[in-house]
Amino acid sequence: MICICVLISRFLYSDEVQIGPETVMTTLYTAKKYAVPALEAHCVDFLTKHLRADNAFMLLTQARLFDEPQLASLCLDTIDKSTMDAISAEGFTDIDIDTLCAVLERDTLSIRESRLFGAVVRWAEAECQRQQLPVTFGNKQKVLGRALSLIRFPLMTIEEFAAGPAQSGILSDREVVNLFLHFTVNPKPKVDYIDRPRCCLRGKECSINRFQQVESRWGYSGTSDRIRFTVNRRISIVGFGLYGSIHGPTDYQVNIQIIDYEKNQTLGQNDTGFSCDGTASTFRVMFKEPIEILPTVCYTACATLKGPDSHYGTKGLKKVIHESPTASKTCFVFYSSPGNNNGTSIEDGQIPEIIFYT
């Protein structure tokens, strides 16, 4: 403490300071204790410059402890951008439960939910040891508390859920059964877990609609509605807007996909459902994770609906340009796709709207 006091005295008289990794936290604590905001700012600046994915959780804990919201925000941004590297670092299992919950609440983590769950289990095992509890299923569930409810199990594939959480012993038998039903049946039973996608997207959500007119009626016999497209710049597609029933409020089952046309490779899909109100509006159906779309590559947007006859679009445009005041123009060019429902062309059909981030 004498050395730190000398450091503060020198700073007060000369406005010069030498801070290193070994002394920065003690210096920050002392600067706050003795109300030396300029020295406090030097410490925060030092920590900010040395912020990396592998120390982001350690610094986040300290930022929360010392009430440094700017540093905490920078730590969270780093965790968002390099989530896998951050949770793989040793400092992750040392964080407190409140910090864990603050991170799990974020929509902007860039990691598959199954891997995030694995990291949370590691944290629970470390917390059991800190509390001198046997590392049992029940104790892991106990130390996690509300953090467990922040895991977005519905975002996993059924295979990921079966291989991990279903066998972890942390969920009750009833929760496991309900989640398996959520993955496999329609209409899906309600589960007490968030199904909102996590995605590290910094742009603004945008959408384009390729039809100029809405008509009725469009039938479904198990064949997919498809449309091929290219874009002029890198974007992330997060969902479609689809037409609903002409017969009033109705529930639909739907599978949506984005396919790399040349490679015939499915890049993302979701088996889900949506409810419509009988109007000619479009209704949002979202992917579990954003799908990166590259310029000049040809993709197929695909939707397979089960339900009554719906509205559909006509006078489809081959080219749609979205203009944004903060980004370059995004140009979609559409092409007819073989195997379309009802044998239709680019001029009419389903999948009127593509929802994306620039």
Can you give the pLDDT at residue 8?
Answer: 55
Provide φ and ψ at 170, rounded to 5°.
Answer: -85, -30
Can you give the pLDDT at residue 255?
Answer: 93
Farthest-apart Cα atoms in the chain, separation:
83
Can you give the pLDDT at residue 34?
Answer: 64
Can you give the pLDDT at residue 258?
Answer: 95
Residues 6+ apart with CB under 8 A from 54: 85, 86, 88, 89, 91
Provide φ and ψ at 63, rounded to 5°.
Answer: -65, -40
The region that residue 196 occupies, defined by phi over 0 for left and psi between -120 and 50 for alpha, beta otherwise, is beta
| Contact yes or no for 56/102 (Cβ under 8 A) | no
Q: How many residues does the chain have?
A: 358
The region that residue 94 occupies, defined by phi over 0 for left and psi between -120 and 50 for alpha, beta otherwise, is alpha
Nearest residue to 109 via CA among 226, 24, 194: 194
Q: Which helix (H) or strand (E) holds 137?
A: helix 137-144
Can you give the pLDDT at residue 122?
Answer: 96
Q: In angstroms, how far is the first alpha carbon of the chain from the final one?
A: 51
Can you give the pLDDT at residue 143?
Answer: 97
Can you give the pLDDT at residue 259?
Answer: 94
Q: Report the C-alpha gap between 335 and 284 in whole angstroms.
A: 23
Assessment of whether the complete model's pTM goes beyond 0.85: no
Nearest residue to 68 via CA among 96, 93, 104, 31: 31
pLDDT tens string, the chain, 358 residues long: the values are 445 555 555 554 445 566 665 566 777 766 676 666 777 777 777 788 888 888 899 889 888 888 888 888 888 988 988 888 899 998 999 999 999 999 999 988 888 888 899 999 999 999 999 999 999 999 999 999 999 999 999 888 888 899 999 999 999 999 999 999 988 887 777 888 988 777 655 567 789 999 999 998 898 888 899 999 999 998 889 899 999 999 989 999 999 999 999 999 888 888 888 889 889 999 999 887 778 899 989 999 999 999 999 999 999 999 999 987 766 789 999 998 766 665 456 778 899 999 988 7
